[in-house]
Amino acid sequence: MAYQSINPFDGKVLKSFPSITDAELEQALAHASTCFETWRHKSYAERAKIIHKAAEILRSKVDVFAHAMTLDMGKRITEARGEVSFSADILDYYAKHAEKFLAPVKLNPKVGGAHMESSPMGVIFCVEPWNFPYYQLARVAGPHLMAGNVMLVKHAANVPHCAILFEELLTDAGAPAGLYTNLFISHVQSNRLIDDPRIKGVALTGSVDAGKTIAARAGQNVKISSMELGGSDAFIVLEDADLEHAIKWAVWGRMYNTGQTCCASKRFIVVEAIADQFLDKFQAALAALKAGDPLDEKTTLGPLSSEGALIGLLSQVDGAIAHGATVVMGGKRLNRKGAFMQPTILTDVKPDNPAFRDEFFGPVAMFFRVKDEAAAIALANNSDFGLGGSVFTKDEARGLRVASAVDTGMMFINNINWSDAELPFGGIKNSGYGRELGDMGIQAFVNKKLVRTASMSAPV
């Protein structure tokens, strides 16, 4: 498997990294297992000192980390800096709250006393994607390391610089050898790791296909897993919405990270009464975006992460058109160097069109007109995915009603702001299972042990 940094802005190969050998993989796993036997007995304060320090380093070197991200996968530099800062917030959050989250919970049986206590499980194998090269790592490293687990991480092949920098970050923060190890490994080696009895759990963020493969492998080995997969989030606009407010969120929701976000807004479902107005304003706002160097702060449209990602997305759009979709705008690559695609809006996407069930991982929006609120909810729920979604209305009670009726892991009313370490993140259906961040994000990969004390006679 080729771990290679290729700048998607100009297609230049920056550096390649070979996969490690089987002997090197065994050494990494052995070091992680040895580290766990010490790390599991560290106090929360001792763990927190290292994790807080890592957050401090991220903030002090935000431009270094952000620059590497932009070169690896094309994220606009302002967004990259924001991701670095949010990653630091996540690390600080778990360093501060882990002890409280994992404190023993007193139970009240009829006889005697009892409590639930939490203890670490061991070496956790994490497989992470390229679209948020540090955030994805921070949201597993923060809870797992503070819980007393240790980590082996296979990052995406196109963000090797980011993978190395995050490992170095923890080393510089004082992490012991084996606590957090980046692995440049093949799929075959990845499977071998999941099979190894020293691995106690598997966490993946990635595609549905990757989730099926890795979850099945973990299941065969009776190992706990969490799967954060794709999404095709609905963006519902009711007739009483603040249209200007909704348009601003529509552009951000579809175009943040050049649309390469699992919980991006992808299906725009607008009540007929304001559908024309919304579509006109949405199209104008997208047309105003300016493509350019993602290292330039004035750029408002960055490249996709790779030439391969662009080619795949163009193929999806062509397939949607072949099955009856109408292109309102865009649909092609931009006539310039780099992996740039025109912002695109598709309409007339019928349920028999493969695009209706697809996830477009890039600047492609599907637009749907509906009669009313009930029709909007029905269409939002007619999806194989269930990650997030949003609804825009001036009536908060109405927004809450719609949010409760949409089958997803997350719903947002008059916003799409999931960037808070305290908010659990995850979905249902083909969007996966388990939750990351918040209190829930530290609970899944720990042993929840019942301890009971009681003076009672054995049953006869």
DSSP per residue over 291-346, as a string?
A: B--TTSTT--B---S-HHHHHHHHHHHHHHHHTT-EEEE--SB-SSSSS-B--EEE
Compute CA distances 199 → 129, 149, 443, whole Å: 20, 11, 18
* Identified catalytic residue from 167, 228, 373, 436: 228
Asked if 286 contacts 367 with a C-beta cutoff of 8 angstroms, the reply is no
Query: Are the beta carbons of 286 and 391 closer than 8 angstroms?
Result: no
Contact 377, 405 (CB under 8 A): yes
162 catalytic? Reply is: no
Task: Give the three-class secondary structure for 449.
Answer: strand
Sign (positive or negative) of CA dihedral 402, 408, 412, 414: negative
- How far is the C-alpha of 61 from the C-alpha of 84, rounded, in Å? 9
User: What is the token pair recorded at 337?
Assistant: 């160097």
Which residue in the list 35, 262, 263, 359 is annotated as catalytic? 262
Residue 420 and residue 450: Cα distance in Å, rounded?
Answer: 32
Q: Is 1 helix (H, G, I), strand (E, B) or coil?
A: coil
* Phi, psi for 396 (deg, rounded to 5): -60, -40
Residue 212 main-chain phi, psi, to 5 deg: -60, -45
**Are 448 and 108 within 8 A, CB to CB?**
no
Helices (H), 330-441: 373-381, 396-405
CA atoms within 13 A on the CB side of 112: 9
Residues 342, 261: Cα–Cα separation, whole Å: 17
| Pair 267, 366: CB distance under 8 Å | yes
Catalytic site includes residue 262? yes
| CA quadruple 75, 79, 80, 81: dihedral, nearest 10 | 160
Residues labelled as active-site residues: 228, 262
